[in-house]
Each structure stands twice: as structure tokens, then as C-alpha cells.
Amino acid sequence: MVTIDELTRLDTSKFSTAAKSWGEISRKASAARQRVDYEMVAALSKREKGEAASAALSDLRQLSQNYQYIHTECGLVRTALDGLAADLAEPQRKLQQALDHAEQLKFTVRSNGSVEFPRVSFDQLPAPALQQPAHPDSAPPLTAATDPNAAKAQEIADRIASALREAGEIDRRYAEELGKLRTNGNLKNTDWADVARDLKSLQAVRGDSAKELAERKGKPPRENARWWGEKSKEEQERLASLFPGEIGNLDGIPAETRDRANRDYLPMLMDKLREDGSDDAETKLAGLRGLSEKLTARNDPPLLLLGVGDEGHGRAILSYGNPDTSKNVSAYVPGLGTRLDADFADGTVARAQQTASTARRYNASTASVVWLGYDAPITGTDQGWNNLDVMGEGRAKKGAPTYDRFLESIRATNGNEHPHVTAIGHSYGSLTVGKASQEPSGIPADDIIILGSPGVGVDKAEDLGVGKEHVFVGAADNDPVSWAPSKRDTILGTGGVLMGGALGGYVATELFGDDKNWFGTDPASKEFGAQRFKVNDGPAPLIHGDFMPAHSRYFDPSRDPESAKNIGLIVSGHSKEITRMAPR
């Protein structure tokens, strides 16, 4: 039971000071881990693999994991101590107020919390009466209830009791939590399940923060940016270490903060998937492993993890270049068949790197993001021939508002007053971009690039809302995804439900008619009215080989240098330098 004396004398700064020390250890461990990963592991990985090298690498990876464990756990201790200091401040304040009030009224507070008050106008009674704090099962007070001082004294006593109770509960909660943060000192088994468990119990202590963060997900990014900016640095760090997954994925939080939080969250997510063990989890885990390797390497331009998660087919948002400091930011939505897997980590992310690399030559202040923030249609024979989902608009419609929010968040946290934002939609992703432009507030992009598109859901470039001179289309003549169904059926004989391989089931022409692509007028057509830039025709599709080699080369400077250059020019704000080709 906390006494008045204890609570009034309590100096919470000793908790804050201790917290600082734990924070220092946490930071140092993180820096050490980075040194191991960036300098030691990276250097060793490049050399010839022999047994000694493999063994050394394995030890280094264990060391890296140990440092990560120390970083996280010490961060949790720091957070708990900071929380304890902050939470105790309130009951301490309330107690002091009650005591001050009592002094003002010339009441005496006993050490047991009872409050003496002078009786009003009853000269006959020789001694002052005592007013006890109200207890549910105690005897009714001895003094008359009509004395106004009795009521005041009762109220003060209640406030004192309440403050002491509150302090006691806080004390008990934190003692329990800190008691849970134990290690057996054996760093061979740095168990992520342990870390996740510790995190959960500390989050429960800050239940109000968890609730608030859940609410923030639906608020406009600019509001979230303001909310975050109003917090002290300590509070920001506390939230980021307690809720790494939530903060890392919240639109409106600065990019570097999201990156740090997601890097802390990534190993926990991987462990969760490892324990799951299902095929789906294994697929996502392979993707995360690939991302983890890229994040660990020394990257030029720097690589930031702006979002990561295991919902749906997986979520991953990565940026080459810092989108908060760059004047130009592009965000690329991938299409058909994209999900969080090893291919994504390798190939799809490479497109963002290629875009950034090319664009930065034309303007160094450029960042390129790949945004897998939705479930793209997944194809494959396991989906069956009647999978209309492959060619339905549902997925794009669902992803559209999320993509808009992400673009809003870029603007909200960017340090330049008017960053130049380019939306890039590739394949089915172009339909998502199209749908995003049809949301009530439109799409917050300055330029739109459409690549290998089966249609964007509108029939005219100007309907995208950015002005048709800001809509750019790349369509290789040998890219079947960009063909109208009638042409494809003629050339490939795909009338009716057919075609296996990467694209899965095509739906019969009857459903969509002859003139249009799947989702509206061909964006490369004259009717659509966009700016068609020059790309290479690409190799012809092979029915029994790579079905659409021309579909994914747009970003690749070695396979389609003209296309890659044009994309880079648009992204870097030099769209008037592009080379063009006639619309079809």
C-alpha cells in the first residue's frame, strides 16, 4: 500500500535516469548489430565460400541476432521505466493538489489518509471531529452530515485515497512487467517468441495507446503527422519501441521513423511466420528473408522499409532514396501475380531500384517506392479456370483508397512544400492507379505512368484527373496484357477460357466485348489521349515458354533502355525530354 509520505516524496526522475541508461545500451546494441551486418557479414559474404567462411558467417549472424535481442529487450525496459515515471506523475499531482487544498482550508491530513476538519458553529463540542475516508462496509461517520466542512473533508479524503490507490496499481503493474523482462543470460536462444510476448504485456499496460493507434489508422495522414509532431522525442521513441508494427505502417509518420520501427518489427514478424509453418506463411517468410538481406546490405541509394505485414498476400512498401527529403517521389503499384514472396523481394523490388538509379541521374533528389499495399490478383493453375477474380475490378477497387492514403502520407511528411509525386501502375496495378483516381478526392499525384496495362477503368486520359498532358503510357507492341481481347484471341487463339502458365485463366471475349481492353479503352490508343512514350517492342510471346517476356521489361535499363530512361525522366521531373511513339 503506497503511503502519502512515499508518494509525495517520490522523485520519478530516478526512473527516467535509469531509463536513459537502458536506452543507451539499446542504442549501442543496435549500432553494433549494424556494424556486424553492414561491415562484417557483408564483407565476408562477398568472398569465396569455404567451410571457415561459412562457420564465421553463421557465428556472425548469431551475433547479429543477439545484438538485436539486446536492443529490443533493453528498449522494452527503457520504455517501461519511462512509462512508470510518466504514469506516476498524475497520481502524484492529484495527491499534492488534495493536500494543498486541505492546507488552504486549514484541515489536517493524518498519515493514514484521514482528514481532520474544524466543526462549523458548534461551540459546545470540545474536540474537532474526524472525517474518515468513505469505506463501503465501515460504520457510518460519527459527525452530522449537515456540516459543510464534513463534505469537503470527505471529498479530500476520497481524492487522497484515490490517488494512493492509483499509484499502487501503477506500481503493481509495472513491477509485474519489469519482473517479466528476464533473460537467462544464455544468448544462444534469443527467442523471438519471448520478445513478442514481452511486447504484448507491455502494450497491455499502455492500453490507451494501443486504442489510439488503432484509431489513427483511419485518420488522414496529415492529421497523423501533426499528432506525431506534437509529441516529445521520448514519447515518440516510447511508442515506436512498444508498437513497432503499428508505427511502422502508419501513414503520416516520418519515413525514417517508419523504417526504424519496421526493421525492429521484421524479425518478430518472421518468427511469427516461422512458427505458423503453413505454405502461405513459408511463402511470405521467403519474401521477408529476401527483404531482410537487402535491408542489411549497404545500399546506394539508401533503402527504407515503409511498410511490412502478413495480412492477405502480404504487405511490403520499400523506398530507394528518402521520400521525406526528396523533391521527386514515385510510387509503383505492381500487378498480376505479385505477392509477398521471394520473387517480390528480388525482382519487383529491383524495379524500384532501377527506377531510382535511372531517375537520380536526372535529378539526385529523387526517391522511388514500390508499394505492395494491396492484394493483387494471384494467378496460377490452382486458381482454376473460372477464376473471374483474376480479371475482376474488385482487388483494384479495394487497393485504391489505401494507395491514395499512401500518396497523401508522402506529401504529409515530405520536407519540400510541393514535392513532385508520380504514380506508376504496372499491369493490373495500373487499374489500381486508375481506381485511385476515381476516389472522391482524386489521386494526389502530379504525373501518372501506365505500363503494360489491361485498361485503367476510364476511357480518357483526362478522366484520371491530373490533366492528359500528365498521363504517360508505355505499351510494348509484343506485350499481350496490353492488347484488346479480340487481338489476343486472333493471334494466340485464346477464345474462350484457356491459357495456363503465368497468366492463368483468361476470360472469354464475350464478357468484355471487342473494342476495349479488359478494363476500359486501351491507354495506348489515340482515343484515350495520353502521352505515349517510346518503349522497345520486346520479344514476341511464346505460347509454351515465357508467355509475356515483354510485359516486365519496362523498368530494365539493360533490356529496354529507352523505356527505362523515359520512366526516369518523368519521375525526375523532366517529362518534356521523353521520346515518343505514335499512339495505336
Partner 1 sequence: MDMRQGAERADRILDGTLKAIVPPVRWVHGTSISGLCSGSSTTGQVTRQRTVLTIISPERRGNFFGLVERHWKSSGYHITGNDPGKTFPSLYATAPGEYRMSLQIGDKGQAFFDVTTPCLDKASVPDPASDQEAPRLQDGEIPYPNHTSDFWSAKKPLPS
Report the DSSP beta bridge partners of residue 531.
472
- Does 577 contact partner 1 by CB under 8 A? yes
Q: Please tell me what DSSP assigns to residue 425.
A: E
Determine the interface stretch with partner 1 among 149-157, 244-252, 488-496, 553-561 (rule: CB under 8 A).
553-561
Half-sphere exposure of 213 (CA within 13 A, CB side): 20
Determine the interface stretch with partner 1 among 57-65, 180-188, 343-351, 483-491 (rule: CB under 8 A).
343-351
- Which residues from 51-80 bind partner 1, rule CB under 8 A? none
Determine the interface stretch with partner 1 among 80-88, 206-214, 353-361, 521-529 (rule: CB under 8 A).
353-361
Determine the interface stretch with partner 1 among 238-246, 396-404, 427-435, 555-563 (rule: CB under 8 A).
555-563
Q: Please tell me what DSSP assigns to residue 389.
A: G
Q: Please tell me what DSSP assigns to residue 462.
A: G
* From candidates 241, 552, 563, 575, binder to partner 1 by CB under 8 A: 552
Report the DSSP beta bridge partners of residue 520.
517
Q: Shortest distance, CB of residue 400 to partner 1, whole angstroms?
A: 27
Distance CA 181, CA 390 (A): 48
Q: Shortest distance, CB of residue 245 to partner 1, whole angstroms?
A: 28
State the virtual CA torsion across 152, 158, 163, 168 in degrees, nearest 10.
160
- Does 569 contact partner 1 by CB under 8 A? yes
Distance CA 414, CA 498 (A): 47
- Decide if 567 contacts 505 (C-beta within 8 A): no
* Residue nearer to partner 1 on the CB measure, 300 or 515: 300
* Residue nearer to partner 1 on the CB measure, 132 or 566: 566
Q: Which three cell numbers stand for residue 51?
A: 567451410
Determine the interface stretch with partner 1 among 28-36, 39-47, 146-154, 208-216 (rule: CB under 8 A).
39-47
> Left (φ > 0), alpha (ψ -120 to 50) or beta: where does 317 sit?
beta
Distance CA 499, CA 502 (A): 9
Determine the interface stretch with partner 1 among 83-91, 163-171, 344-352, 468-476 (rule: CB under 8 A).
344-352
Determine the interface stretch with partner 1 among 45-53, 187-195, 426-434, 462-470 (rule: CB under 8 A).
45-53
- Does 11 contact partner 1 by CB under 8 A? no
Question: Alpha carbon of 415 to those of 364, 365, 572: distances in Å?
Answer: 16, 12, 17
* Residue nearer to partner 1 on the CB measure, 32 or 350: 350
Residues counted in the chain? 584
Question: Alpha carbon of 520 to those of 197, 474, 523, 527: distances in Å?
Answer: 50, 16, 8, 11
With H, G, I as helix, E, B as strand and everything else as coil, classify residue 501: helix
Total residues interacting with partner 1, rule: CB under 8 A: 30
Q: Cis (ω within 30 of 0) for the bond into 220?
A: no
Within 181-301, where are the H helices? Answer: 192-205, 207-216, 221-229, 233-242, 244-248, 255-276, 279-296
* From candidates 35, 47, 106, 200, binder to partner 1 by CB under 8 A: 47
- Does 347 contact partner 1 by CB under 8 A? yes
* From candidates 293, 389, 459, 562, binder to partner 1 by CB under 8 A: 562
Determine the interface stretch with partner 1 among 6-14, 84-92, 483-491, 573-581 (rule: CB under 8 A).
573-581
* From candidates 68, 357, 409, 494, binder to partner 1 by CB under 8 A: 357
Strand order across the beta sheet in which 115-117 lies: 108-109, 115-117, 129-131
Give residues with Cβ within 8 angstroms of 173, minimum separation 6.
Answer: 205
* Residue nearer to partner 1 on the CB measure, 343 or 459: 343
* Residue nearer to partner 1 on the CB measure, 247 or 564: 564
- Does 558 contact partner 1 by CB under 8 A? yes
Pattern 283-322, binding to partner 1, x per CB under 8 A?
Answer: -----------------x----------------------
* Residue nearer to partner 1 on the CB measure, 28 or 574: 574
Q: Shortest distance, CB of residue 279 to partner 1, whole angstroms?
A: 17
- Which residues from 138-197 bind partner 1, rule CB under 8 A? none
Q: Shortest distance, CB of residue 266 to partner 1, whole angstroms?
A: 21
Q: Which three cell numbers stand for residue 528?
A: 484515350
Q: Please tell me what DSSP assigns to residue 187.
A: T
- Does 39 contact partner 1 by CB under 8 A? no
Half-sphere exposure of 262 (CA within 13 A, CB side): 29
- Which residues from 420-479 bind partner 1, rule CB under 8 A? none
Pattern 359-398, binding to partner 1, x per CB under 8 A?
Answer: --xxxx----------------------------------
* From candidates 8, 54, 183, 579, binder to partner 1 by CB under 8 A: 579
Instruction: Indicate the pairing of strand 366-372 with strand 447-451.
Output: unpaired
Q: Shortest distance, CB of residue 580 to partner 1, whole angstroms?
A: 12
Q: Please tell me what DSSP assigns to residue 316.
A: E
State the virtual CA torsion across 66, 71, 73, 78 in degrees, nearest 10.
160
Residues of the shown chain interacting with partner 1 in the complex, contacts defined by CB under 8 A: 45-49, 300, 342, 346-347, 350, 353-354, 357, 361-364, 546, 552, 557-559, 561-562, 565, 569, 572, 574, 577, 579
